[in-house]
Structures are given as C-alpha cells and as structure tokens.
Structure 1
Amino acid sequence: MNPTDAPGPQNVTVLTRPDATLITLSGDMDLDHVAAFHSVLSAACTGTRAPARVVVDLGRLAFCDSTGLNALLQARLMCVESGRTLVLANPAPQLSRLLSITGADTVFEITGLAADTPDPSPPAL
C-alpha cells in the first residue's frame, strides 16, 4: 500500500505492510497537533484488519509535550487491549528525555531506526 498523508501543520505518514503498520511523524506533537496523530494511532491499534505490530518512527519529530506523550501512552493501552505491540522507533533527543524523566521509557519498546521502519532514502548507486 502506498503511504498516505493526513492533513495538518505536522505530517503523519502511514504505511501498512503485512507485518506492521508504520507511522512516521514530523513537526510537533503538542496540543495543537495531536488530533491527527491520535486518530491514525487509534485505527492502527484497534482496526480489525490492522497488523499485530505498530511502529511509530519519531526521528523527524521536532517537539513532543505531555499531550503527545499522553497520546502515545493511550495508544500503548489500545494496542495491549487489541493484542498488538506498539514500538517507538528513533525518538529524537527531546522526546527521549521526556520518556526518561517521566519513566515512560520503561513501558514502551524503544528501538533505533532499524528494519522496523522503511528507509526513506533512495538506494545508493
């Protein structure tokens, strides 16, 4: 399936593969921008035909406040209730610090940018 972009000041890109739903965020995840992200997460975590693994690539996220963190925590609970796994990939330094300060880093599976997320760059020639 081709990636789709949700409208808004931030960009939320969703790519569904047989093994995982990959959600890539860019911009800010704060009170003004969290609604589009929350609706995408809800569909990925509770959809009847959604894959069992939801990977959120946070490497392009410029800022995340407590509203964004709350959306991630709610998504984790939705995934657990639906028998899915939520993985946070490549959190930016500001978000890594927020996760650490709040202790949320102990409840999420966190990974670096790896095979879990698609490589946006073209292959080298």
Structure 2
Amino acid sequence: MRRVAVRWLLGGHQHERGASIDNAPQNLTVTTGDNWAGPVLLCAGEIDIHTAPRLDRPLRRALAVRPAPAVVLLDLQDVSFMDSTGLNSLLAARAEAGRNGTLLALAHPGPQVTRLLEITETAPLFPLSPLPPRPPVPRRPVT
C-alpha cells in the first residue's frame, strides 16, 4: 500500500496529511435539500482528492433534475478546506449547469475557499447567494 504525504500552503494555513490511498479519510458530509429555486447542498468538512467524489455524486443528481432547476445552491459554510480537486468538481458542475440553463451558486464560502477561488481567478465564475449565514452544523466531540 502506497503512502501519500501532501502539504498545502493556502490562505496562511498549512494542512498536512499522511494517508494511504486505499484507506483515505472521508471527512466530508453533503446534505441535500430544496428551496424555492432548486436543490441545496450543505457541505461540511474537507473537499480534496479523497472526498471530492462524495460531493460529485449529489451535485450530478441535483443537476440531472428535470425540468432543470433555476439554481443549484452549494452551501460551503462548514467547509474547512478545499484543494484543486474540489475546485475542479465545482468547475465541472458549473459547466454542466450551464448546459442545462441552471445557475450554480455558492453560499457562505469560508476564508480558505474564498482564497482558493481568488488565487485561481475563478471567483467571478460563481455567483454568491445572498442568504444569511445559518447556524453551524453541530460537531461530534472528539474522544
């Protein structure tokens, strides 16, 4: 089993992870719901090479709804980290949404996600939702 050690330096925060490819951490949850304009996906955790598929599946399902929704809203308030794999997931979903006449909007991106969008010059591609912040997702105590 191959070991992977990755260091990211982004937004003043360094994230270090050593994990085997076959036993990667799965610290992302995606909860789906609906609002008046279309599907809403609430994300919590980290979106990286290991967890991006957990976001891709519900995003594809939300974009496959017919008739196509006006907006698919991705709430990133509880996302603590996103790497280029997560950004690629957003860009692919944006392209698919555009083909269907749907707008992919982001709500509450945190400082790290905002910094990623800014340094990659992709921030203008994603409109921000004007929704007020919601209460944070309760976290289980670490034992």
TM-score, length-normalised on structure 2?
0.71
Structure 2 counterparts to residues 48-63 of structure 1, below 5 A: 48-49=66-67, 51-63=69-81
Match of 1:36 among 44, 54, 72: 54
Structure having the higher Rg: 2
Structure 2 residue 43 is the aligned partner of structure 1 residue 25: yes
Tell me how far apart the structure 2 counterparts of residues 77 and 51 of structure 1 sit (CA, whole Å). 15
Structure 2 residue 59 is the aligned partner of structure 1 residue 47: no
Structure 2 residue 139 is the aligned partner of structure 1 residue 109: no
Tell me how far apart the structure 1 counterparts of residues 111 and 129 of structure 2 sit (CA, whole Å). 13
Percent identity between matched residues is: 34
Structure 2 residue 102 is the aligned partner of structure 1 residue 84: yes
Let me know the Cα RMSD of the aligned residues.
1.9
2:128 alignment partner, SS class: strand
Tell me how far apart the structure 2 counterparts of residues 111 and 48 of structure 1 sit (CA, whole Å). 22
Question: Of Structure 1 and Structure 2, which has the larger fraction of its residues in helix?
Answer: 1
How far has the Cα of 1:92 moved from its partner?
0.6
2:50 alignment partner, SS class: coil
Asked if 2 retains the 8 angstrom alpha-carbon contact of 1:46 and 1:79, the reply is: no
Tell me how far apart the structure 1 counterparts of residues 135 and 37 of structure 2 sit (CA, whole Å). 18
Runs of 4+ in structure 1 deviating by more than 4 angstroms, as ranges, are none
How far has the Cα of 1:113 moved from its partner?
4.0
Structure 2 residues without counterparts, runs of 5 or longer = 1-25, 137-143
Q: Encode CA deviations 1:71-115: one digit per residue, 9 max, x unaligned.
A: 00111011000110110111010000000000100111023543x
Structure 1 residues without counterparts, runs of 5 or longer = 1-7
